[in-house]
Structure formats: C-alpha cells, structure tokens
A and B are shown apart, each in its own frame.
Chain A
Amino acid sequence: NAGVTQTPKFQVLKTGQSMTLQCAQDMNHNSMYWYRQDPGMGLRLIYYSASEGTTDKGEVPNGYNVSRLNKREFSLRLESAAPSQTSVYFCASSEIGTSSSYEQYFGPGTRLTVT
C-alpha cells in the first residue's frame, strides 16, 4: 500500500516549456487534489476532483490544467511554464462523504523550478 505517489520528485524547466506532473493513489479514494506550497503562502488549492470524471478550479488555477484519468490517477499540466510557477506541488486524496472525509493524504511532493 503506497498511499499517494507523485512523479517526478524534482524538475527544472525553462520558461515556456510544458510538463505534466503525475499523481496516483491506491486507497480507492474518490476525491483528489493538487496544491502548491510557497514560502509565506501556505498550501493553496490549484484544482480538485470530487469524483472520477469531474474537476473544478481551486484558488490558483491560472496556468494549469488537470485530467482525472481514472479513479486512481490525477495529473497536473503546465502548458507554458513561467518562473512564478516555481513551487513545491503536492497531490492529495480523501474519501468524501464518510466519517473520515476531513483527512487528506498527501504525496511526497514535486519540487519544480522554472528558470
């Protein structure tokens, strides 16, 4: 049981390049999330997917797209990377609608630098 896994762990991009961050969970959770964490800003929600087939914008969606590929996988795409997207990205999952839906399980993070 690996929990939430993310790839890659580290990435350096040049301005304008694109890339996709991958996330997978093996807990059969219905909801998945993408956050970014910046110094002094805390965790900010980029996109979330309440269930397979649905996605919604969070607090900071500009410059990102997401795909809920199936129940296990939720990817985050940067189409044209900008230095302002330098951050640590975390994927999380939870089981909404149950007694423990308040608990989010986080992956280990992807450290992205855009030069």
Chain B
Amino acid sequence: QKEVEQDPGPLSVPEGAIVSLNCTYSNSAFQYFMWYRQYSRKGPELLMYTYSSGNKEDGRFTAQVDKSSKYISLFIRDSQPSDSATYLCAMSRSNTGNQFYFGTGTSLTVIP
C-alpha cells in the first residue's frame, strides 16, 4: 500500500465551478500537509501548507486536514482557466524534513 493515495483524474470542470481535490494516507505520524501545483512541463510549486488538523484559507483556495480519517482536501472556488494544472498532495512526519511523501497528482482542466 502506498503511503499517500491520490485519484489521478483527469478532472474537467467549467469556469467558475468549485473544485475538490483529495488525498488519503496511511501513516498516522504525518503532521505536515502540503499542496503543490504543477503546470505542464514545469516543476511543482507550493500552493498551500497546513500543520496538523484543521482548515486554512488563502484567497480562492482552502486546505482541509482530517487526521482522524487520514484524509486531506483542497478546494478551489470560482475556478479559472489559469488553475488548469496537476495538483500534488505531499506530507511529512516532521519539519526536519528529510522525507516528503507525494501523491501521484490530479490533473485538472478548467474550461472557459
């Protein structure tokens, strides 16, 4: 079983829709949860970060962590064509940070 599971999609939504992206994990020791965005033929870039359980909001993006269910989510409100990318979840046990575990990524297309 992989440490982190993520539905690869692809996901296609109309502009303005609310998008929900999700990951599940098996290791209860994970405490740091990240979402990266990767445009085609580019390196990933950090989008959101959450420590432990709870919600975090940044503009149109909201990250949620439910440690009891080992489930994390990223919500995108009022989705835009510029949000079309692959979204990767990542997590680690500590901020000494020598091991990050990534999901396989979900490909999102927002149609104008």
A binds B: yes
The reply to whether B98 and A50 contact each other, CB–CB distance below 8 Å, is yes
Please tell me which stretch of A11-19, A62-70, A74-82, A103-111 contacts chain B, meaning at least 4 of its Cβ atoms lie within 8 angstroms of it.
Answer: A103-111
Chain B residues near A40 (CB-CB < 8 A): 8, 104
Nearest A residue (CB) for B89: A42
A101: contacting residue among B96, B104, B105, CB under 8 A:
B96
The reply to whether B98 and A48 contact each other, CB–CB distance below 8 Å, is yes
A97: contacting residue among B49, B88, B90, B95, CB under 8 A:
B95
Chain A residues near B45 (CB-CB < 8 A): 106
Q: Is the CB of A90 closer than 8 A to any CB of chain B?
A: yes
B88: contacting residue among A42, A50, A105, CB under 8 A:
A42
Nearest A residue (CB) for B42: A108
The reply to whether A45 and B104 contact each other, CB–CB distance below 8 Å, is no
The reply to whether B98 and A102 contact each other, CB–CB distance below 8 Å, is no
A106: contacting residue among B41, B44, B105, CB under 8 A:
B44
User: Given the complex of chains A and B, what is the CA–CA distance between A105 and B102 in angstroms?
Assistant: 14
The reply to whether A45 and B96 contact each other, CB–CB distance below 8 Å, is no
Q: Is the CB of B18 closer than 8 A to any CB of chain A?
A: no
User: Given the complex of chains A and B, what is the CA–CA distance between A66 and B9 in angstroms?
Assistant: 34
* A contacts, CB < 8 Å to B: 4, 31, 33, 40-45, 48, 50, 56, 58, 90, 92, 94, 96-97, 99, 101-109
* B contacts, CB < 8 Å to A: 4, 6, 8, 32, 34, 41-46, 49, 51, 88, 90, 92, 95-100, 102-105
